[in-house]
Amino acid sequence: MLILFLSVHVHAQQKDSITYNSTCVNYKIQFSTSIYAMIEFPDKVIWNFGDPASGFYNTAATKYPTHAFASPGSYYINVAVINAGDTTKLQDTITVVAPLAYNFGPDIFLCEKGDTTIVGPTIPGAVYEWNDDSLTKTPSLHVTKTGEYTLKIDGCAVTDSIGVYFSEQPKIKLGDDHVLCANEILTLNATSQNGTYTWRLNGTILSDTTGQLPVVDPGGQYIVVVTVPGCGTFSDTANITFASLPAPPFSLGPDTLLCPKQIYPLTASVAGATAYNWSTGARDSTIQITDPGVYWAFVTVSGQCEVVDTVEVTYRGDKNLDFHDTAVCKGSTLILNADFGTGTYNWTSDPPQRNDQNQTGQSTYYVYEPGLYKVIASVGQCVYTDSLHVAFDDSLKTDIGRDTSLCIGEEYILHVKSNANTFSWQDGSVATSYLVTGPGTYTLVSQNGCGLDTVSVKIDMRHCECELTVPNAFTPNGDGRNETFRPLHPCKMTDFTFKIFDRYGELVFQSSDFSKGWDGTFNGLKVSNGTYVWMATYINSDTQQKKFKKGFVVLIR
């Protein structure tokens, strides 16, 4: 059952106004006022929600309070903003309404490259917000990817949701018919996304309903029927029988990790082998591996039966050692970590450290004195090198920026500049940057051999008029969060242009669509971390004034 809310608009009695993000009963509504655009850091704020039944919670002394009304009705709201001895008072009435019922219907299943439209109720004048990234503001949503979709109407979270699930087009292939040597092990694989499975052996339905089925001597005709919601029903057949000749030992070896671009020979060595059938289509005893994947080989023994084995080959990514020059306090110890797995690690220092540090084979290294430190890490056939300068001083310096005022909904990243070794934010996180999503005081405790240092910044949120709001950093690293850089609050505008330049002044991105963001690439290649300049021009549709904005954005992967 979906719950939707009626749209109610409040008209302020003065030039300045009280704003809020919902009119829903039993919903924590957040309040603000446009006065904050003129007074960013008032000395005192006093709110009264006109809801005496809530007792202690009827008043608040924070800039952006929340309040939940237990019953529908009209409530008289007022706020007093006190700054430098002056008091500004605002008042308004909010009408809180009960929800209406609506049902999205059952979940939707589709095959890959399909699409569908989710339809919500149509309420004249209502503001719609879907939980995807399409910026759709209408009662219906065009869907092209798997997800659970929800809807807000006039800022009220809808209690119903609808799932849309896209399945890949199945490719069911049990393989060729085979005569296996006695005691050989083979598993048939029909695994498909969101599939359900029915197996038959010689016409009899088996109890196994998984996507993989072990073959059992004496074998026979195996048939699998796979049903994938949205795509249909698919089937395949394979005849697997067994010979009396015992299976000789056969192994392609353990799963293998290779270096980037490494070519690896894979050999099927079996006593009495007379033929080879690889997953690649090769018919020789050895193949050359150049790509990651799962490789198998059927080897015919004495022309009578087959043995089979499988091996998975993966490649180490482009990860490299990434030491940075640093400074630590006298008397403290710096631990360098070059761990790439089981291998050999050769460290050197200039000037040389004490004898117990002149060792090979350890991935960690303890620095007691200033100097130049180098490591050669040999993992299998992969070799990595890096170096850094370590200086010693008696200071601890930490900076996370100044107090800042942001627009409501704007994201902001605090970056740590410090010679400390460890960090801890107010919520216990330890990263060297922190994503700000709301007002408050953000505190960082840093530490090195010199001691502890605590720094704080105050982040204030204000209601912004129709101005372009742009974040100051983004992280296109593939984790699904903060992947693109674009304006957050485009407002009502026309003739929009958005350009991004690198530090050499070269244009790396431009767009006239404010919903289209930069993904951190140029000509199809990932650009390097660093600071980029953005420029935007647009015409405010309300005032018809032409606006020009520019700023900086930090790209972090």
Q: Is the pLDDT of residue 13 over 60?
A: no
| Rounded Cα distance, 459 and 436, in Å | 8
pLDDT value for 114: 84
Q: How many domains does the chain have?
A: 7
Q: Do 505 and 534 share a domain, yes or no?
A: yes
Phi then psi for 366, rounded to 5 degrees? -100, 125
pLDDT in tens, 63-88: 999 999 999 889 999 999 998 888 89
Q: Look up the CATH number of the domain holding residue 542.
A: 2.60.40
In a domain, 357, yes or no: yes
In a domain, 338, yes or no: yes
pLDDT value for 285: 95
Mean pLDDT comparison of 1-15, 115-129, 210-224, highest-scoring range: 210-224
Q: Do 348 and 382 share a domain, yes or no?
A: yes
| Rounded Cα distance, 193 and 499, in Å | 41
Residue 86 in tokens: 């002056």
Q: Kindly indicate the confidence band of residue 188, based on its pLDDT and cuts at 50, 70 and 90.
A: very high
Q: Do 11 and 90 share a domain, yes or no?
A: yes
Residue 517 in tokens: 């963001």
Q: Kindly indicate the confidence band of residue 329, based on its pLDDT and cuts at 50, 70 and 90.
A: confident
* Local structure of residue 161 (DSSP, 8 states): -
Q: Do 373 and 409 share a domain, yes or no?
A: no
188: Cβ–Cβ under 8 A, 6 or more apart, which residues? Answer: 174, 175, 212, 213, 214, 215, 222, 224, 238, 240
Q: Kindly indicate the confidence band of residue 12, based on its pLDDT and cuts at 50, 70 and 90.
A: very low
Query: Which percentage of the chain shows pLDDT scores above 70?
Result: 91
Average pLDDT, stretch 149-168? Answer: 85
In a domain, 277, yes or no: yes
Q: Do 45 and 31 share a domain, yes or no?
A: yes
The domain boundary residue, chosen from 246, 270, 303: 246
Q: Which of 50-54, 95-99, 367-371 is the least confident region?
A: 95-99
| Rounded Cα distance, 25 and 156, in Å | 9
Residue 387 in tokens: 């170096």
Q: Which of 219-228, 278-287, 439-448 is the least confident region?
A: 439-448
Residue-range definition of the domain harbouring residue 61: 2-96
Q: Do 157 and 217 share a domain, yes or no?
A: no
* Local structure of residue 489 (DSSP, 8 states): -
Q: Do 405 and 458 share a domain, yes or no?
A: yes
In a domain, 251, yes or no: no
Q: Do 339 and 360 share a domain, yes or no?
A: yes
The domain boundary residue, chosen from 362, 393, 424: 393
In a domain, 373, yes or no: yes
pLDDT value for 466: 60
Q: Do 198 and 222 share a domain, yes or no?
A: yes
The domain boundary residue, chosen from 68, 96, 124: 96
Query: Which percentage of the chain shows pLDDT scores above 90?
Result: 39
Strand segments, DSSP code E, in 291-429 are 293-301, 305-315, 326-329, 334-337, 344-350, 364-367, 371-379, 382-393, 398-399, 404-407, 412-415, 417-418, 422-425
Average pLDDT, stretch 491-510? Answer: 86
Q: Kindly indicate the confidence band of residue 9, based on its pLDDT and cuts at 50, 70 and 90.
A: very low
In a domain, 320, yes or no: no
pLDDT value for 52: 94
pLDDT in tens, 395-420: 778 888 888 877 766 668 888 888 78
Q: Look up the CATH number of the domain holding residue 448.
A: 2.60.40.10
Mean pLDDT comparison of 350-359, 368-377, 472-481, 544-553, highest-scoring range: 368-377
pLDDT value for 5: 33
User: How many Å is the Cα radius of gyration of the chain?
Assistant: 32
Residues 403, 427: contact at Cβ < 8 Å? no
Q: Is the pLDDT of residue 390 over 50?
A: yes
Q: Do 6 and 83 share a domain, yes or no?
A: yes
In a domain, 10, yes or no: yes
In a domain, 88, yes or no: yes
Q: Do 10 and 83 share a domain, yes or no?
A: yes
Mean pLDDT of the chain: 85
Provide the residue type at 426 as one letter: Q
Q: Do 126 and 194 share a domain, yes or no?
A: no
| Rounded Cα distance, 373 and 389, in Å | 6
| Rounded Cα distance, 96 and 249, in Å | 76
pLDDT value for 521: 92
